Amino acid sequence: MMTRRVHPLLIGFTALVFVFLVGPLVIIIGASISDTSFLTFPPRGITLRWYENIFEVSAFTRTMGTSFTLALLGTSLSLLVGIPAAYALSRYRIELPSFLSTVFVLPILVPEIVLGFSIMKSITAGMGVAIYPSLVIGHALLVLPYCVRVVSASLASFDFSIEEAAVSLGCPRWRAFLTVVLPNVRAGVIAAFILAFITSINDVSISLFLTGPGISTLPIQLLAHMEQFFDPTIASVSVLLMLVTVAVMATVEFTLGLTFLTK
Amino acid sequence: MTARQLGWYLVMPATLAVVIFLGWPVGGTFSTTFLDGSGWFSNYVNFFSSPFRRAVLWRTTEIALVTTVISLLIGFVTAYVVSRAPGSWKGILIVAAVFPLLTGVVVRSFAWLIILGKNGIANEIMLSLGIISEPLSMLYTKGSVIIAMVYLFVPLMILTIVGVLESIPDEYVDAAASLGASPFARFWQIVFPLAVPGLIVGAVLVFTGSFTSYATPQLLGGEQQMMMGTFLHQRAMVTFDWIGASTIAAIMTIVTITIVYVMSRLAKRLNPAAV
């Protein structure tokens, strides 16, 4: 179609932008296999010892475990309260006061770093809640908007008369929800889980205030390590994190198709 | 049970979670800043009467603004090309934009630490090309923070704008073409005005994201380029000045919410039909 033609200059510019986007990540991969004790690119000699080193630095393996369980716990809790909320907001919108739908946008509106500081001040220091539960609370709150909005979006295209049909045939409401509604919005729930999980695992600003010498998350540990050392181990941990991203993208592609991310 | 009651029961757990774990802590943080021994708003008077603190606020605003403008320009052109790319290419380009977005902020900022360092690639390339005769120190400058921030936010801008451009029906552009509009006119009179709400959404995301960021200014800016986020952390966790930190937190939140509010009103006024 004639209208779809794009000027070659714009194509060239776009090519440069994508080099800018992907290049730095390629550089990290290169730096992670360099056989030198300092970070360099292009790599001089190839070695995998920096990858072995990750598992010898106990702080990395320990915080990796913490980040993973934290993301799992925080996301699950958030979905547990978020799915019913999303359902109610889609199903009973007219019956509910309109301010309720803005409540779940608040965790996005308040800057993350302000939220982290406030939770540390009130919940951890003020109420004496231990660090780990505080972290779980912070992460669950951080991902709640994703859970509510993504599940709501998939409920928007669900025809609630199917659920009504099940109920009118004698199915209890809770069972109709579990066997009729939930399987129909499965894709939305998976998408919410994935987005929330990746947000939680990469979080810096909330964890920043809630971690300490005893307990830390991987991104915080990485930041601390970067400020003191400058060796390729950081690059190899970064590559591992990129592999997590690859796994996530593959999952999204197989379950929903990546185009859902531009909607 | 009526539908109204059932609805309330279902939203209650999540609403309570937001009220207890967000409303109460954030409200508490703000309330301590308004009144203390020296009277109402003395903490804000303190903040704005210190040239150092004003400089941090101004630097943060400036870096966030420049980042937003550059991301808008790069993001719009790129999104335009991506949205017109043939099927298979479009998929590849979207994957290439989503991938950095899903990779953590720390990893992406770290990449620029390698690139912009004294013995980094940027210096090596410029040395070998003879552009410079000795390595430049580019880290801990405003420029390095802005480059890394643009790197962080351009993918978000591209995806936001691609989404909006895709929603503009092809028929509009075809109609303009059949009426004899030049490619340039088609772009400026049809595509651009319809894309403006998307540009505003993208700009808000980038501005608030960079205004409140922590990891990037911490790694690439250091003490010299302290921004509001790094300042808040330093006040709270290094000098333990919790009232000072709370005041910074309140100012950051006020700026963020004001920007979101004003821009969403603007988006509605410019294009009442768009949601």
Could you read off the pLDDT of A71-115 as tens digits, one per residue?
A: 999 999 999 999 999 999 999 988 888 888 889 989 989 999 999
Of A3, A92, A223, the CB nearest to B186: A3
- In the predicted model, what is the mean pLDDT of residues B248-272? 91
- In the predicted model, what is the mean pLDDT of residues B113-136? 89
Domain boundaries, chain B: 41-102+142-270
Q: B3 vs A238: CB contact, 8 Å cut-off?
A: no
Q: B7 vs A209: CB contact, 8 Å cut-off?
A: no
DSSP three-state, residue B36 = strand
Domain B41-102+142-270: CATH superfamily is MetI-like (1.10.3720.10)
Which tokens go with A190?
């998976």
Could you read off the pLDDT of A31-42 as tens digits, one per residue?
A: 899 888 878 778
Q: B242 vs A121: CB contact, 8 Å cut-off?
A: yes
Q: How many other CB atoms sit within 10 Å of the CB of residue B164?
A: 22
- In the predicted model, what is the mean pLDDT of residues B50-75? 97
- Which residues in chain A have Cβ-Cβ distances shorter than 8 Å to B78? 13-14, 17-18
Of B11, B23, B84, the CB nearest to A4: B84
Of B4, B107, B113, the CB nearest to A242: B107
pLDDT confidence tier of residue B119, bands split at 50, 70 and 90:
confident
Chain A: nearest CA to B125, how far in angstroms? 11
Q: Which of B6, B24, B29 is best to mutate for the A interface (most A CBs within 10 A)?
A: B29
- Which residues in chain A have Cβ-Cβ distances shorter than 8 Å to B107? 28, 222, 238, 241-242
Residue A140: pLDDT over 60: yes
pLDDT of residue A38: 79
Rounded CA-CA distance B258/B204 in Å is: 11
pLDDT of residue A260: 62
Mean pLDDT over all residues of chain A?
90
- 3-class SS letters over chain A: CHHHCCCHHHHHHHHHHHHHHHHHHHHHHHHHCECCCCCCCCCCCECCHHHHHHHHCHHHHHHHHHHHHHHHHHHHHHHHHHHHHHHHHHHCCCCCCCHHHHHCCHHHHCCHHHHHHHHHHHHHHHCCCCHHHHHHHHHHHHHHHHHHHHHHHHHHCCCHHHHHHHHHCCCCHHHHHHHHHHHHCHHHHHHHHHHHHHHHHHCCCCHHHHCCCCCCCHHHHHHHHHHHCCCHHHHHHHHHHHHHHHHHHHHHHHHCCHHHHHC
Q: A114 vs B232: CB contact, 8 Å cut-off?
A: yes
- Assessment of whether the complete model's pTM goes beyond 0.90: yes
Residue B169: asked if its preceding bond is cis (omega within 30°), the reply is no
Residue B97: pLDDT over 70: yes
- Which residues in chain A have Cβ-Cβ distances shorter than 8 Å to B149? none
- Which residues in chain A have Cβ-Cβ distances shorter than 8 Å to B186? 3
pLDDT of residue A255: 76
pLDDT confidence tier of residue A263, bands split at 50, 70 and 90:
low
Q: Which residue of B has its CA nearest to A87?
A: B10
Mean pLDDT over all residues of chain B?
92
pLDDT of residue B108: 95
Where on the phi/psi map is residue B222: left (φ > 0), alpha (ψ -120 to 50), or beta? Answer: left
Residue A1: pLDDT over 50: no
- B7-31 burial by CB neighbour count: b if 16+ within 10 A, else e? bbebbeebbebbeebbbbbbeebbe
CB pairs below 8 Å between A and B: how many?
263
pLDDT of residue A2: 41
CB A95 within 8 A of CB B3: yes
- Which residues in chain A have Cβ-Cβ distances shorter than 8 Å to B70? none
pLDDT of residue B274: 52
Could you read off the pLDDT of B191-250 as tens digits, one per residue?
A: 898 999 899 999 999 999 999 999 999 999 999 999 999 999 999 999 999 999 999 999
- Which residues in chain B have Cβ-Cβ distances shorter than 8 Å to A209? 233, 236-237
pLDDT confidence tier of residue B272, bands split at 50, 70 and 90:
low
Who wins on pLDDT, A228 or B129? B129
pLDDT confidence tier of residue A261, bands split at 50, 70 and 90:
low
Closest CA to B195 of B170, B154, B161: B161
Of B10, B82, B110, the CB nearest to A84: B10
Q: What percent of chain B has pLDDT over 90?
A: 69
- 3-class SS letters over B89-144: HHHHHHHHHHHHHHCCHHHHHHHHHHHHCCCCHHHHHHHHCCCCCCCCCCCCCHHH
pLDDT of residue A121: 95
pLDDT of residue B51: 96
Q: A117 vs B121: CB contact, 8 Å cut-off?
A: no
pLDDT of residue A130: 92
Q: A81 vs B229: CB contact, 8 Å cut-off?
A: no
Q: Which of A146, A262, A263 is best to mutate for the B interface (most B CBs within 10 A)?
A: A262
- Which residues in chain A have Cβ-Cβ distances shorter than 8 Å to B114? 24, 27-28, 31, 39, 41, 235
